[in-house]
Amino acid sequence: MLIREACCAAFYCQRCGQIHVHEIPYFSDARKTVLRCDTCGHEQAVLERLNGGRISVELDCVVCGENNRFVFSLKRLHSVQLEKIYCRKDHFELGYIGCRKKIEELLSFNQAEFEALHPSDGKNFIEKQRVLLGVLNRVDEMASTGCISCSCGHSDISAELHGHYIVLSCANCGSCYTLRAEKASDLAHIGRYIELLVPGMAGDR
Give the nearest distance from C-beta 152 to Zn ion in angstroms. Answer: 3
The distance of closest approach from Cβ of residue 53 to Zn ion in the complex, given in angstroms and rounded to an integer, is: 28
Q: Residue from 49, 172, 183, 197 that binds Zn ion (CB under 5 A)?
A: 172
Strand, helix or coil for residue 204: coil
Q: Which stretch binds Zn ion (CB under 5 A): 23-31, 41-49, 107-115, 183-191?
A: 41-49
Residue 140 to residue 172: CA distance in whole angstroms: 19
**Least spacing, CB of residue 37 vs Zn ion, in Å:** 3
11 binds Zn ion (CB under 5 A): no
When the beta carbons of 138 and 154 are compared against Zn ion, the nearer one is 154
CA distance 155 to 157: 6
How many amino acids of this chain bind Zn ion (CB under 5 A)? Answer: 22
By C-alpha distance, which of 125, 124, 150, 137 is closest to 187? 137
Residue numbers 51-110 binding Zn ion by CB under 5 A: 61, 63-64, 66, 87, 89-90, 92
Coarse DSSP helix, strand, coil percentages of the chain, rounded to the nearest 5 percent: 25, 35, 40
SS3 145: coil
Residues in the chain: 205
Q: Does 39 bind Zn ion (CB under 5 A)?
A: yes
Q: Nearest approach, Cβ of 78 to Zn ion (angstroms)?
A: 28
Please give the Cα distance from 115 to 129 (Å, whole number): 16
Interface positions, 142-171, toward Zn ion (CB under 5 A): 150, 152, 154, 170
Residue 87 CB, shortest distance to Zn ion, in Å, is: 3
C-beta closer to Zn ion: residue 15 or 130: 15
Residue 198 burial by Cβ neighbours in a 10 Å radius (0-12, 13-18, 19+): middle
If one asks whether residue 42 binds Zn ion (CB under 5 A), the answer comes out as yes
List the one residue out of 130, 51, 59, 56 whose CA is nearest residue 94.
Answer: 59
State in angstroms the smallest separation of the CB of 73 from Zn ion.
24
Pick the closer one to Zn ion by CB: 38 or 115. Answer: 38
DSSP state of 66: P
- Alpha-carbon distance of 179 to 140, in angstroms, equals 13
Binding positions for Zn ion, rule: CB under 5 A = 13, 15-16, 37, 39-40, 42, 61, 63-64, 66, 87, 89-90, 92, 150, 152, 154, 170, 172-173, 175
